A = this chain, B = another copy of it.
Amino acid sequence: MGKPTIADLAKAAGVSATTVSHAFSGRRYVDPETRKRIEALAEAIGYRPNHRARRLRTGGAGSIALVSSMPFAVAAGPSRLGFLMEIAAAAAVTAFSRGISLCLVPPLGPRDSLDALEVDGAIVVEPELDDPVLDFFFDRGVEVVSIGRAPGRDSLPFVDLQSGATAHLLLDHLLEGGGRVGLITGLQRRNSYIEMEAVYAERVAQAGLSAIAIRVDERGGEQAAAAAAERLLRDDPTISALCVPVDAFATGVLDAAGIVGRTVPHDLRLATRYDGMRARLATPPLTAVDLHLDQVAAAAVDLLLARLGQLDPAPTIVSPPSLVLRASSVLPSR
């Protein structure tokens, strides 16, 4: 016969299933001695409550989804993979410590392929404007929080990536080197780009400089950025620094700089946003921002659980972003 059920355990302990249930849940008083006996017996016969039955009764799936709003692997090498996966790893750890599991959800393909998914809530990473993935979950009545504000959806709860502060860190650093500073963001309308562009416009105006900002389609990856940067650098030789938040774009720019004969950082200073392997291993290594993604991920999980009523709302603390200076933007002092 199969796994022992609550009825088996009840029979063994000489009580009813109700009492067993109460003994475990504590929702009603059970004689301590009875409870002890039940617990010991449960251990002995190897009883474990059936999740499926419990969930049918109580509702709730016991899991949450982590969703990328972008293709996992863009054609030429995984672009946001590092970013997403660093979050995924941290989120999985936090989720499991809270007793729920984490489903990794690939970007929306054909609608129905996601029909199998059953989760209590979802975390969407850096949604873009009118992101279809948000509608998808809304339709299903699934609670959603985002990492990074969702443009055009002010009511959606989110964990702030503090893109404004990040933008200031990067741009101030590049601007204080003097010269003309350009900006390369993504074509998609994500909050981090929007804030970055706003701060850029403001700073450039303050400094009395003209803006040089272009957008590249994320799906083009490194190559698209390299091509765009090459054009930009040829058109405008006065550019002395570039702020390139997307790390894959930044390494593309590095290639472009090589092609047009500019040395980084001497002829072109460069900084990016996400401080991942890409930034650290680039040649030269890229100045970047520590976004504390592990904390962000943990905060997102807790925020979601709080909204689901499974956790008391206790705001997790996320450290402010901090600049990590590297050779790509720092001229060696002589």
Contacts and interface: CB of A to CB of B under 8 A. Distances in A.
A116 B281 contact: no
In the complex, the count of this chain's copies comes to 2
Contact of A81 (B59, B63, B89, B99): B89
Interface stretch (A26-34, A48-56, A171-179, A224-232): A48-56
Contact of A96 (B97, B101, B106, B280): B106
A106 B118 contact: no
Given A86-B81, A92-B72, A92-B105, A53 B51 contact: no
B106 A89 contact: yes
Contact of A106 (B86, B92, B278): B92
Interface in A52-70: 52-53, 55-56, 59, 61-63, 65-66
A114 interface: yes
B86 A114 contact: no
A181 interface: no
Contact of A277 (B62, B102, B106, B278): B278
A186 B62 CA distance: 36
A103 B78 CA distance: 21
A283 B55 CA distance: 52
Given A72-B90, A81-B85, 11 more contacts: A51-B118, A73-B294, A85-B89, A89-B104, A93-B106, A96-B105, A99-B113, A102-B104, A277-B277, A277-B281, A281-B282
Interface of A: 48, 50-53, 55-56, 59, 61-63, 65-66, 72-73, 77-78, 81-82, 85-86, 88-90, 92-93, 96-97, 99-106, 109, 113-118, 251, 277-278, 280-283, 294
